[in-house]
Amino acid sequence: MASDRIIMAHGGGGRMMDQLIEDVFLPAFGDPVGHERHDGARLDGSIIFTADAYVVRPLFFPGGSIGEIAVFGTANDLAMCGARPRWLSASFILEEGLPIETLRRVVDDMGRAAREAEVLIVTGDTKVVERGAADGLYVTTSGVGFVEFGARVGPALIGPGDTILISGPVGAHGVAVLSVREGIAFETEIESDAAPLWPTVEALLRAGVEVHCLRDLTRGGLAAAVNEIARARGVEIELTEAAIPVETPVRGACEFLGLDPFYVANEGCFIAIVKQSDAEKALLAMQRFDPRAAIIGITGEEGAARVSMQSAIGGRRALDHLAGDLLPRIC
Amino acid sequence: MASDRIIMAHGGGGRMMDQLIEDVFLPAFGDPVGHERHDGARLDGSIIFTADAYVVRPLFFPGGSIGEIAVFGTANDLAMCGARPRWLSASFILEEGLPIETLRRVVDDMGRAAREAEVLIVTGDTKVVERGAADGLYVTTSGVGFVEFGARVGPALIGPGDTILISGPVGAHGVAVLSVREGIAFETEIESDAAPLWPTVEALLRAGVEVHCLRDLTRGGLAAAVNEIARARGVEIELTEAAIPVETPVRGACEFLGLDPFYVANEGCFIAIVKQSDAEKALLAMQRFDPRAAIIGITGEEGAARVSMQSAIGGRRALDHLAGDLLPRIC
């Protein structure tokens, strides 16, 4: 490993984190459930189990809060495994001196988000650390759900010529967090897209779409998601740049901030990789939830684990996997 | 609430934490699974789900580390629900600058502890926060297991005249952590009792003991555990002080440090409340794992939610529930 200390990029969802998983976690924990670099683990039968820590800074931002994404994020990881989210745990690490009113706002957001996502928060824990030993509060949620409609999804199921769809526009969450963190006011306030994704997944499955893989576009954004999948399956992925929805204010803010929206984290957006002949059916199902859902690419032949993008002016470029993340502490 | 800010005692497992749960968490999350102040939640059928955050300082101490207790602690919470621990998640919050070698030691301890407890670590997450925004590392584990032998345990099942047994001596974990934190060397090195508890619980259930309630003696120690149970059930608990095992070096260290061993956290010790006629059978089963297991008390009539202790010299005193914990960041 290049460095012998943890750097911010180790938490960025990119190559540095992959390396940490391979060098430190997998040798110690093994690969007990046929780890596919998926969002959750399939246990006995149809039970899916997942967990995420949330350290977003600041705690509140346009369109959401750490509480909201701690619920939606973990519920969405279950949905990405084809599972209806059912139960969550919530474990808090609180910094001494945190106003109880701040905690209450976060917890109330979690309660509301749980009702919206139709999950129950059933267990949890609270620890307190000294002033200066945390940044207000961190929350870790884990989730349990059951696979429905006999869904079996994962990179291994992707075939050549599959269609790649996106559920909505990208980039809003990262821009919303960064704008408040940096104190930048854009002409149009950009709100996080934080939202539960199971309803859209359920619609796809209920419509009988042969879904091969699902992935939410969190840390590292669209680029990280497609690169992880390309590598996990050993397949080429070709995206069409002009087809990927990015709202005009988000595009403008990204230009201003020097960000590529395809690398910016989302909290309510996913890609579905489906059998080509089911693509139109999938698009119709997804557009019921967001008319901006779109077909954005296809999978190529096995062998070349890479992502290329057809640009709007006809050229083709690689969409690389970054070492870290453009934006630390975005979720 | 007396204070409008979080103080260390809110994480101590005592009255302050109870108040936070009642004032902040329950109003927002509700009480979806008939919350009994138990160590885990019972989901559909026989699935038990639990979660704990670990912030112990320092990360390594005689007889264990944050990694070991993060695995045993969560596995033990499942065992206390009568469930065989099966799967864990592990979510890390790492401080920028943490030596990767330190992380590797923690993770290796977790791997070893998981093999010892016969659980699989199947999912997880890693986040990194800036230097100064965490104290090296925090880890949150959650666990899933299945109730075995048709066990149904919880404070609600406790009856008058039940027998209370303890699985082994108390106080070692807290003293081990505090000794290294404060740089105190005792004549005999005192090691944490960190250990998996399911094997002892399984032996009780396999022996056909009618187990009514199980509780591990973590934050707040024996005193917090019995007080919580007394209150949850609305029953008096009477303990016999001389019957409660405390090893001589631990007793000496506690005297030196000004601690009451009954309030000190443990990581490998629990109480079992069983039907009186099964007490001898329960003691035999528990002594197979630790010959120091003992019968330490009985439950009284319903109504008075309090804990009293018969002292060695014949007097009787109340064993109160503390506001916080004697020792912050002990787990």
pLDDT digits (tens, 9 = 90+) for A107-159: 999 999 999 999 999 999 999 999 999 999 999 999 999 999 999 999 999 99
Compute the average pLDDT of residues B30-36: 64
CA distance B92 to chain A (A): 7
CA distance B18 to chain A (A): 10
pLDDT of B111 over the 70 cut: yes
pLDDT tens for residues A173-195? 999 999 999 888 887 889 999 99
DSSP B135: S
Model confidence at A32, pLDDT cuts 50, 70, 90, reads low
Tell me the chain A residues in contact with residue B85 when contact means C-beta distances shorter than 8 Å: none
Angle at alpha carbon of residue A251, lines to A250 and A252, rounded to 5°: 90
CA distance A179 to chain B (A): 19
Tell me the chain B residues in contact with residue A54 when contact means C-beta distances shorter than 8 Å: 127
Structure tokens given for B168: 């082994």
For residue B302, the model assigns a pLDDT of 87
Model confidence at A1, pLDDT cuts 50, 70, 90, reads very low
Mean predicted lDDT score pLDDT of chain A: 93
CB-based contact A128 B33, cutoff 8 Å: no
Q: Is A11's Cβ below 8 Å from some Cβ in B?
A: yes
Structure tokens given for A242: 């002009």
- Using an 8 Å Cβ cutoff, are A5 and B98 in contact? yes
Q: Is B148's Cβ below 8 Å from some Cβ in A?
A: no
For residue A301, the model assigns a pLDDT of 87
CB-based contact A49 B122, cutoff 8 Å: yes
Q: Does domain B155-318 have CATH number 3.90.650.10?
A: yes
Q: Rounded to two decimals, what is the model's pTM?
A: 0.95
- Write the DSSP assignment of A6-66 as a string of letters: --GGGGTTSHHHHHHIIIIIHHHH--TT---S-SSEE-STTEEEEEEEE--SSSEETTEEH
Exposed e or buried b per residue across B6-45, where buried means at least 16 C-beta atoms within 10 angstroms of its C-beta: bbbbbbbbbbbbbebbeebbeebbeeebebbebbbbbbee
Of B44, B95, B107, nearest to A28 by CB-CB distance is B107
Q: Is A156's Cβ below 8 Å from some Cβ in B?
A: no
Sequence-ordered alpha helix ranges (H) in B93-197? 100-117, 172-182
pLDDT of A2 over the 80 cut: no
Q: Hey, which CATH number is domain B39-147, 3.40.50.410, 2.40.160.150, 2.102.10.10, 3.30.1330.10?
A: 3.30.1330.10
Mean predicted lDDT score pLDDT of chain B: 93
For residue A35, the model assigns a pLDDT of 52
pLDDT of A321 over the 90 cut: no
Question: Which among B31, B12, B13 has a CA at the least distance from the CA of B228?
Answer: B13
Of B7, B103, B140, nearest to A91 by CB-CB distance is B140
Percent of chain B with pLDDT over 90: 85
Tell me the chain B residues in contact with residue A142 when contact means C-beta distances shorter than 8 Å: 51, 89, 91, 140, 142
pLDDT of A41 over the 70 cut: yes
- Using an 8 Å Cβ cutoff, are A265 and A173 in contact? yes
Compute the average pLDDT of residues A85-93: 97
Give strand pairing partners of B215: B271
Percent of chain A with pLDDT over 70: 97
Question: Which among B141, B130, B108, B107 has a CA at the least distance from the CA of A6?
Answer: B130
Model confidence at B327, pLDDT cuts 50, 70, 90, reads confident
pLDDT of B34 over the 70 cut: no
Percent of chain A with pLDDT over 90: 85
d(CA A286, CA A293): 6
Model confidence at B323, pLDDT cuts 50, 70, 90, reads confident
Distance from the Cα of residue B297 to its chain's centroid: 19
pLDDT tens for residues B42-86? 998 899 999 999 999 999 999 999 999 999 999 999 999 999 999
CA distance B58 to chain A (A): 12
CB-based contact A91 B125, cutoff 8 Å: no
Distance from the Cα of residue A50 to its chain's centroid: 13
pLDDT of A326 over the 90 cut: no
User: Where in chain B are the domains?
Assistant: 39-147, 155-318
Interface of A with B in 45-84 (CB under 8 A): 47, 49-55
Q: Is B129's Cβ below 8 Å from some Cβ in A?
A: yes
Exposed e or buried b per residue across B172-210, where buried means at least 16 C-beta atoms within 10 angstroms of its C-beta: bbbbbbbbbeeeeebeeebebbbbbbbebbbbbbeeebb
CA distance A9 to chain B (A): 8
Q: A65 versus B44: which is more confidently predicted?
A: A65
pLDDT tens for residues B192-242? 999 999 999 999 999 999 999 999 999 999 999 999 999 999 999 999 999
Model confidence at A12, pLDDT cuts 50, 70, 90, reads confident
d(CA B81, CA B98): 36
